[in-house]
Structure 1
């Protein structure tokens, strides 16, 4: 469905797209095609379009402050991109057909960085590395708590080691982001 009415091949056009949104940019045969900006109702989409779909490098800002900057193919995130959340967290990842692939790099609001791999249900699997702002580094198991909510977070759970800048190392088992130095078998704490 075309938002714009035009019989010209390419031209710069500004149009009211209805629902309080406007488009200003290149048009081909009545469809958004080339670089353009759509905005209104707190939304702002800047980037490239092809046949009325996002296609190429784009920046999409939502009314809640969430921003995605990255590549689109046929209106779907595809390629490298970064999600920016209102709380200051940023997730860098690769997308394929609008699905985020499992390897993520997260920058936290406090400056710490997390490198991890997730599975389909957003549990962390494999090696996790958390680089804290004080220079300490955790390598080991972790999980994502409150997945799918604005308050989600990565917490240490399972076996891992924490190395401090003074080279002190704590190695063992973690539960609820706390070092417990105990063994857990099938969910049971063994002293």
Structure 2
């Protein structure tokens, strides 16, 4: 019985090893005048960036890592000499992006993290948060909603660390348009904001706001 088990385990290991070996690409030619195709090689560009990974038709294609002289580094997928697919990009200042790339830019679903504890999780378009996402600060503040070119823009909810909440319209990182603020003590302000400041509307004492206003905090 033990012999049969060891034999079966050995066959599995051999099978997996065979697949891994079969999928491994050969090293690229040491002659850089030849076309590197379906191989793995190391290449240093004119900008000083060193790439180590797979090649196809003389272009970086598949999986690879590039490190630049300024300390930036990318590990992930490549298509036709561009970062494309899933990858991780780190900068010397500590900013880190993990997620989807398209045509050399963060694009699609991804996450930014900063060394000070900030974090953005959501959609990107060509290197900037755009669409919907959540930005969290280390002091406990948080914004969830629409973004445009890296700024809070559209509809969103901002929660302060002390529990105060604003939900409503935003323009270029500021409360602007119709919105509702709920204070920790239960007071609610509903009305127009401009450039981050209250302009006009209704101010309700705790428990006095109508249902259509309080429902904003249950959406």
Q: TM-score, normalised by structure 1?
A: 0.67
Note closer, same or farther for the CA distance 1:157–1:78 as it changes in structure 2 (3 Å cut).
Answer: closer
The 5 Å alignment of 1:114-125 reads 114-118=143-147, 124-125=153-154
CA contact (8 A) 2:36 2:58 kept: yes
Q: Which has the larger radius of gyration?
A: 2
1:45 counterpart residue number: 74
Q: Does 1:92 align with 2:111?
A: no
**Residue 159 of structure 1, aligned match among 152, 170, 178:** 178
* In structure 1, distance between residues paired with 2:170 and 2:126: 27
Count of residues in correspondence between the two structures: 169
Task: Structure 1: state its 5+ residue gaps.
Answer: 145-153, 184-191
Q: Does 1:69 align with 2:69?
A: no
Give, in angstroms, the shift of residue 72 of structure 1.
2.0
Give, in angstroms, the shift of residue 52 of structure 1.
1.6
* In structure 2, distance between residues paired with 1:118 and 1:45: 25
2:142 counterpart residue number: 113
More helix by share: 2
* In structure 2, distance between residues paired with 1:27 and 1:72: 18
Task: Structure 2: state its 5+ residue gaps.
Answer: 1-30, 202-219
More strand by share: 1
Higher relative contact order (CA closer than 8 Å, sequence separation 6+): 1
**Residue 131 of structure 1, aligned match among 159, 169, 175:** 159
Q: Is the partner of 2:178 in helix, strand or coil?
A: strand
Offset from partner CA, 1:60-112 (integer Å, 9 cap, x none): 23455443322123434432123345654433332456675433322234232
Note closer, same or farther for the CA distance 1:123–1:11 as it changes in structure 2 (3 Å cut).
Answer: closer
* In structure 1, distance between residues paired with 2:151 and 2:119: 17
2:51 counterpart residue number: 23
Offset from partner CA, 1:18-53 (integer Å, 9 cap, x none): 322211222234322221110122211111112222
Give the root-mean-square deviation of aligned CA atoms: 3.3
Q: TM-score, normalised by structure 2?
A: 0.60
Give, in angstroms, the shift of residue 163 of structure 1.
2.0
Q: Which is worse superposed, 132-141 or 171-180?
A: 171-180
